[in-house]
Amino acid sequence: MRCVLLAFLGCTILTGCNIPSPTQTQKTVPTVEVPSDPAEKLRQQLRSAATQLTAAKEALQNASKAASDVGAMTGASKDLKDGMLDVGDLVNEASGKIDMFMAEPKALAEFRNQLEAEKPKRAAAIMACNDALHGLADAQGIVGSLSASMAGKFQNPLEGVEGNLDEASDAIKGAIDALGGKVEKP
């Protein structure tokens, strides 16, 4: 056993036995090239946000349907039905706030010509996204409360609603990040 240990130590000392150094194991993070042209930069931000918001819209639609389905389940209590109606209302309200920012920006040449008119969209989109997140936080709170008080057959469907709300929130946060904004705490 000592011979094996000595051989291993000797190999490690002499050759390193292909143990990577800390600099060899560091991964490089790809950098995103930020355009220097202000019009192109703003257009890229709005385009990225639109992609995120399209994903959020789909998750919100799924959450709304799932909430409706849970409320319609046989044996659902009045509290559960009312809670799911409230969640549906909050989800629809959040969806409405992001709708106008889901459109793909105009072609760069046209966008550049209308840059001054396009600039306020970034701030408005960040504000609308934060407003939508506040509503979704309320919806998540309702689902969390109901989930804690419900058992049995309602648990998995409520988790489905919660998963869709989380997915939508994450996508909206991604849109805020793409726009260079900050997520406001609810």
Residue 34 dihedral angles phi and psi, to the nearest 5°: -90, 125
* pLDDT for res 134: 98
pLDDT mean for each 10 residues of the chain (186 residues): 44 46 44 74 96 98 96 93 97 96 93 92 96 98 92 90 98 97 90
Cβ atoms of 135 and 93 within 8 Å: the answer is yes
* pLDDT for res 19: 42
* pLDDT for res 27: 45
Structure tokens at 62: 């799924």
- Give CA–CA dist 93/84, Å, rounded: 14
Whole-angstrom CA distances from 42 to 17, 77, 129, 183 are 50, 49, 17, 19
Among the CATH numbers 2.30.29, 1.10.3470, 1.20.120, 1.20.140, which is that of 38-178? 1.20.140
Cβ atoms of 167 and 83 within 8 Å: the answer is no
